[in-house]
Amino acid sequence: IRLYSGLNGSDNKYTKVEDIPANGEIAVPNDATNESRALYLLQSAGLIKLDVSGTALATVANIKENPKNLK
């Protein structure tokens, strides 16, 4: 997983998902398609769990588990 920020392009501070600290902040795009894609990527990395039925686009409202309390 590569983390991107809006200011400097990418943040290589964390090379492994396990290194992302509790209460950290992860930026996701603010358009519906890319926000959903980013949330599904975070889910596949094990950072969050989503509750989305069918093939609906995910939003932050669909986050059902966030064990690291990421913002």
pLDDT tens column, 17-66:
888 899 988 889 999 999 999 999 999 999 999 999 877 899 999 999 99
Has residue 3 got a pLDDT over 60?
A: no
pTM of the model: 0.78
Ordered structural domains, the chain, with CATH: 1-71 (3.40.190.10)
Classify residue 31 by its DSSP letter.
S
Classify residue 3 by its DSSP letter.
B
pLDDT bin (cut points 50, 70, 90) of residue 10 is: low
Q: Decide: residue 58, CB within 10 A, 0-12 exposed, 13-18 middle, 19+ buried.
A: buried
